[in-house]
Amino acid sequence: MNSEEEFYDAVTGFDSDNSSGEFSEAVHKVDVDAHQSHRAGRHNGDGPLQKNGIKKHRTTLPAPMFTRSDFSVWGILKKCIGLELSKITMPIAFNEPLSFLQRITEYMEHTYLINKACCHSDPLERMQAVAAFAVSAVASQWERTGKPFNPLLGETYELIREDLGFRFISEQVSHHPPVSAFYSEGLNQDFIFHGSIYPKLKFWGKSVEAEPRGTITLELLKHNESYTWTNPTCCVHNVIIGKLWIEQYGTVEIINHSTGDKCILNFKPCGLFGKELHRIEGHIQDKNKKKLAVIYGKWTECLWCVDPSTYENYKRNERKGGDQKKPKPSEEPENDEADDMPEIQETVQVIPGSKLLWRISTRPTNSSQMYNFTSFAVSLNELEKGMEEVLAPTDCRLRPDIRHMENGEIDLASKEKERLEEKQRAARKERAKDETEWKTRWFYQGTNPYLGTPDWLYTGGYFDRNFFDCPDIY
């Protein structure tokens, strides 16, 4: 492993080999002719179609996941006390068969929320839909404790989903520090979504915490609106001993740069007795800080919206009727035992008059045997006949170590991973010898036009499919 961030990835599943993202200075228009020539049936292979003409995607992985019970993180770390985290290499069994570039594509699972925002004429309803989309983007991390593969420098991933109305491209634009930039646009030229992720890591002994860095930007073109936000902090517990479990906490502030409205969402830490586990509370306010709506729910379940006065009356009545005895705090001192995940509390208690904004999708019945993937995630590494002729040679689907792991060939996967990492190191040494700088292909460094912060901007042109100068990374 090459960084403290990669250590976090190894023991969690929240990949940190990703970073700051850049927004496009000019709207990249959809080329209708190119779009027609790469329709889902041709671009994504000659897969079967459902009765409604939409292409079917696979519903299971080629092989079930490997057991991790034979591997102990502590067995690895105790031999590395005093060494830099960059010197620690984790067994491939802690991975899941996706690159981090594919992992961030899971933001698009609930694209219908963007479409809903585009259709609303009321800016308050648009903000509600955007807030729901921001929460849905982290929902796929629930119970996902496997580590995505760290992208190789120059690695890319594309996804065109006509049924969901978007196309997506991402690129690993830096290795030290690890940075992944992504860009997505609506096929109806109605939105642009782009950004990056590069968490700052803190290792607390029992847990690893990733504070998000980088900006996520959503533009609703019809309404000439732009929104920015960052993801909550992700914490993975029991990295040394016990069962891994994930917690999200922190404040997410979504800003509508056109109206001045803000949505402030508080992802609550689980607390001493786990009462707040997975819970979200927040509100939408206008530019004068007047509360327009209250939002509440769980990022693992659903999100609701209600009028502020209704919310306050409900809470007031709840306090009047609440004489329940509070449990006494534990007087036990801290020890080295596992931090057991608190029992999940009752489902979200819906306040009368609330409006449902979003509900998590049901996972496949065999999800636990497939790295706890969602149905959307199961399809991401699908490689069908004809796709290799269309994809960039740097696409994740063509990466052999991930392909071998997906097929249940863990020894081959491990050997290929080692070979690819050595090839990357050799290429880096060669560039250093020749004093040549790495050149990104689809993104360039610039400035986010809404925040004025450093960002990665989409160069454009990927879907013209001129891949003659792509690097040989596999």
Average pLDDT over residues 81-87: 45
> CA–CA distance from 450 to each of 260, 265, 287 (Å)?
12, 20, 16
* 390 vs 40: CA distance, rounded Å: 12
The answer, yes or no, to whether residue 84 has pLDDT greater than 50, is no
Mind listing the pLDDT tens digit for each residue in 86-120? 445 667 877 899 999 999 999 999 999 999 999 99
Query: What local confidence, expressed as pLDDT, does residue 294 receive?
Result: 97
Give the HSE-up count for residue 64: Cα atoms under 13 Å, Cβ half-sphere: 7
Contact 449, 27 (CB under 8 A): no
Mind listing the pLDDT tens digit for each residue in 260-303? 999 999 988 776 666 777 888 999 999 999 999 999 999 889 99
Task: Please choose, from the candidates 447, 451, 461, the residue with its C-alpha nearest in 3D space to the C-alpha of residue 22.
Answer: 447
One-character DSSP codes across 13-76: S---S-------SS-----HHHHHHT-HHHHT-S--B-TTSPBP---S-SSPPPP-TT--HHHH
Contact 456, 446 (CB under 8 A): yes
**Which residues have C-beta within 8 Å of that of residue 445, sequence separation ≥ 6?**
22, 454, 455, 456, 457
Backbone angles phi, psi at 206, to 5 degrees: -90, -25
pLDDT category at 322 given cuts 50, 70, 90 is low
The one-character DSSP state at 387 is: G
**Global confidence as pTM:** 0.81
Mind listing the pLDDT tens digit for each residue in 126-179? 999 999 999 998 888 777 777 889 899 999 999 999 999 999 999 999 988 889
The one-character DSSP state at 465 is: -
